[in-house]
Amino acid sequence: MCIACRQGAGKRELIRVVRTEAGVKVDPTGKLSGRGAYLHPLRVCWEKALNHRLLQRALRTPVSAEDLDALARHAAALPDVEPDEDDDDAAQAS
């Protein structure tokens, strides 16, 4: 479940953010050990998590300014909203 919008993954994978000894990092592989939190690969969810300190709450740790900056940069590269459902392949399947 995404910590920002509290919805399940749906058809898209959630991105794991993990609390490590080196700080709070994005974990694209999902393999880092540590307390993790999950977010949709959507900028709106990341901005909500960053603005409302949801990662700090979910991971029960402060997040350094440096890590917040890295997370914000990651968020900036994400798409704004979920792409439209009506892609051609799915429409022709039935």
C-beta of residue 12 within 8 angstroms of C-beta of residue 41: yes
Rounded Cα–Cα distance for residues 30 and 37 (Å): 10
Range 42-81, binding Zn ion (CB under 5 A): 45
Of 24 and 49, the one with the shorter C-beta distance to Zn ion is 49
Contact assessment for residue 64 and residue 54, using Cβ atoms and an 8 Å cutoff = no
Q: Select the span of 16-24, 27-35, 40-48, 74-82 touching Zn ion (CB under 5 A).
A: 40-48
| Residue 4 near Zn ion by CB under 5 A | yes
19 binds Zn ion, rule: CB under 5 A: no
Among 16, 18, 26, 40, binds Zn ion (CB under 5 A): 40
Binding site for Zn ion (CB under 5 A): 2, 4-5, 40, 45
